[in-house]
Structure 1
């Protein structure tokens, strides 16, 4: 590797970076065909990538080398062209992982900055190979890093340049897999805990439009993830369903909090708020419909009662957020908004439990929601049909639940009790506006 490095030092920065990409392509492409799969990347190769692509200093105390803006743009074009021209998806994924897999050192900041710019360029030129590689990266990387990439895209296409959202919107038809991971990342970024963490209207409109056009978009990662593969620690959720529920349920409270703080003044802002309320209502209905679609997939794979798509502890955290936000508002002035949020929560809990996405008993549900303000629909959901003591079991109320597997699933799951919701129970619902 020392000979390669000395040869690269005599080249200009762009030529050296291109040569490192060529070296990676040859070495990893050959290793991919070897028995047992590709080996781990050698440290010497990692050092070459960091020095000649990300321009990190070889001395730990030394500052990183800086490229001019023109050189950086040219380097991004070289990367974009490489991924576009490489015909083998497995090789592309390996090279992408070799370039942007975090190593836990100072070069990681350069990696993340370059990755954000490369994905943004991939969106701008609609480069499907980069978007597909980025989708896989988002699926296996830590949520904090994924949120950073999502923030870059939101800034570039939804905040800084008005009207540029249409460029990001076209990605829907090019790479639905990337869109699914992007939605999951932005729901982790924006949790409506503050005005700064509320999704901007262009982003909200785009996400709702995607989901309305094709509900299956939210389930792409879940359906393509082998159940035997454990999820990496700290990664994003398998679906953005929980994050989108947080948006639709907390939206009325967040809007009232904004009015309380006097952040909206005048008719134009009021009209914008009304438009967002309509979008959140559409989002709520779409999420409920996705839960019903999910029921069919769980039934087909014989996973009803054995695989929890929504984790109880995550739902408990959402319930706590809603309760805390409701307490911050004046109940006398925000009663309608609080009731709207609780109505949506009740509907979401009912449909999620009835579809098998949330494994939770009625007793657990009562405990979760015990501190929330009174809501008629929520009380109805928590009560439901009651099996009388010593009475014969009624299959129409509590249908048979399959026994758990002898080998536990990779994803967390537990068997629900006879007093749980089950998808065979019929229910009527309508979206709460």
Structure 2
């Protein structure tokens, strides 16, 4: 590798970067064929960091910076490389070698270049790059994944008005990337502040994807071998928890944003207020559609968990996340004054109750109703939520339930021991979801 480096130092920046890609491809292809691949090879890492990421290895050595045109040319070269490389294993290893964080000073340059590459791949529809990015999102700590998601949102929802259609079109070309992108943006936009409310174009795009095909957000889960201990600090297997958070917190979060806008005079004119209210109304309709789609996905999960022999063993909606969501609702309520957000709070709690009910029935949420009652005890009263958490404390084992059956919420009345219990509600796979969402 040292001989290659000396040769590269005599080249211009773009030519050197192209040469590194060429040598890396030969080296990694050879290692794959010999089954002796070492992705973390020091020589490979040093070359790509110095000549592709432009991070100098010597203190007195000035990096060969790429100007804007050269950078665009490099991105095009990389897009074409991944497009033309016929072996998926080589593509994936090459992508991982270049863009997997190493915990060093080159990581900022690495993630910045990745964001530009994936953004270009979205614009020109380079499916191999998007597929590699989907795998990268699955295997990389979430802190880096949300940075990539933020870059794409800024490019297609902020910097280039009207370009959102480019992002929408990848739904029909790379469903794996769409699935992981949704998981990343729900991790990024948690509605904890006005700045972390998803932009309208992003919201409309995500809702249109999921409403058209609710199974989209299950693609990674259905095609990933499930281990006993899922890695900590990475994206969730599905975006279900994040989407539930969006639907439940949206009424209160948008109320808070409207209050902040009025206080700051951002919508000081009558026309501005009407426009702001119109946008919020459109968003509330989208959240209602999203809520329905999430409930449909939860129902589908029961079949898939049973097929994978994970029903009652793997909770895709973690109880700890439910606890956090309840705490966030309480904070929002206190911040906004419960007397002024009664309608919004009712809608949030109705959605929470529906999500909890269907998640428990489908096996996505594993917890006792006693624990659920304890967690929800500080929430304002809500009839539907009270119905959901008022079931028996002791539940039969999920594993003992036949597939397709909903566990009892209420035990038969003790005053009528001779009467048979009501039949358990059965959900038939493939049927349209029989309930309407809370509007």
**What are the ranges of 5 or more consecutive residues in structure 2 without an aligned counterpart?**
402-406, 412-423, 428-433
Determine if contact 1:361/1:419 at 8 Å carries over to the other structure: no
Q: Does 1:432 align with 2:438?
A: yes
Report how far residue 230 of structure 1 moved.
4.8
Q: Does 1:345 align with 2:343?
A: no
- Among candidates 301, 313, 329, match of residue 306 of structure 1: 313
Report how far residue 384 of structure 1 moved.
2.5
User: What does the per-residue CA deviation read over 1:254-297, in whole Å, with 9 as the maximum and x for residues that have no partner?
Assistant: 12112222154421111111100000000001000000011110
Written as runs of structure 1 = structure 2, the 5 A alignment for 1:248-397 is 248-261=247-260, 262=262, 264=267, 265-384=272-391
For residues 377 and 268 of structure 1, the distance between their equivalents in structure 2, rounded to whole angstroms, comes to: 33
Determine if contact 1:354/1:425 at 8 Å carries over to the other structure: no
Quote the residue 2:211 is aligned against.
212
Report how far residue 140 of structure 1 moved.
0.8
Quote the residue 1:401 is aligned against.
399
For residues 233 and 342 of structure 1, the distance between their equivalents in structure 2, rounded to whole angstroms, comes to: 29
Quote the residue 1:30 is aligned against.
30
For residues 148 and 410 of structure 2, the distance between their equivalents in structure 1, rounded to whole angstroms, comes to: 39
TM-score between both structures, scaled by the size of structure 2: 0.88
Report how far residue 304 of structure 1 moved.
1.3
Q: 1:39 to 1:358 in 2, by over 3 A?
A: same
For residues 333 and 392 of structure 2, the distance between their equivalents in structure 1, rounded to whole angstroms, comes to: 29
Q: Does 1:236 align with 2:240?
A: no
Quote the residue 2:76 is aligned against.
77
For residues 125 and 148 of structure 1, the distance between their equivalents in structure 2, rounded to whole angstroms, comes to: 21
Determine if contact 1:346/1:378 at 8 Å carries over to the other structure: yes
Determine if contact 1:151/1:189 at 8 Å carries over to the other structure: yes
Report how far residue 238 of structure 1 moved.
0.6
Q: 1:192 to 1:63 in 2, by over 3 A?
A: farther
Report how far residue 116 of structure 1 moved.
0.4
Report how far residue 233 of structure 1 moved.
3.1
User: What does the per-residue CA deviation read over 1:16-52, in whole Å, with 9 as the maximum and x for residues that have no partner?
Assistant: 11111111111111111224x5224321221111111
**What are the ranges of 5 or more consecutive residues in structure 1 without an aligned counterpart?**
388-396, 404-416
Q: 1:353 to 1:225 in 2, by over 3 A?
A: same
Written as runs of structure 1 = structure 2, the 5 A alignment for 1:116-155 is 116-155=115-154
TM-score between both structures, scaled by the size of structure 1: 0.90
Determine if contact 1:398/1:418 at 8 Å carries over to the other structure: no
Written as runs of structure 1 = structure 2, the 5 A alignment for 1:26-65 is 26-35=26-35, 37-59=36-58, 64-65=63-64
For residues 50 and 334 of structure 2, the distance between their equivalents in structure 1, rounded to whole angstroms, comes to: 53
For residues 291 and 217 of structure 1, the distance between their equivalents in structure 2, rounded to whole angstroms, comes to: 12
Report how far residue 231 of structure 1 moved.
3.5
SS of equivalent residue, structure 1 residue 374: coil
Determine if contact 1:86/1:92 at 8 Å carries over to the other structure: yes
For residues 288 and 28 of structure 2, the distance between their equivalents in structure 1, rounded to whole angstroms, comes to: 49
For residues 138 and 248 of structure 2, the distance between their equivalents in structure 1, rounded to whole angstroms, comes to: 26
Quote the residue 2:16 is aligned against.
16
Q: 1:316 to 1:177 in 2, by over 3 A?
A: same
Q: Does 1:112 align with 2:119?
A: no
For residues 143 and 310 of structure 1, the distance between their equivalents in structure 2, rounded to whole angstroms, comes to: 17
The CA RMSD over aligned residues, in Å, is 2.2
For residues 95 and 303 of structure 1, the distance between their equivalents in structure 2, rounded to whole angstroms, comes to: 34
Q: Which protein has greater RCO, CA pairs closer than 8 Å, 6+ apart?
A: 1
With 23-32 and 264-273 compared, the bigger mean Cα shift is at 264-273
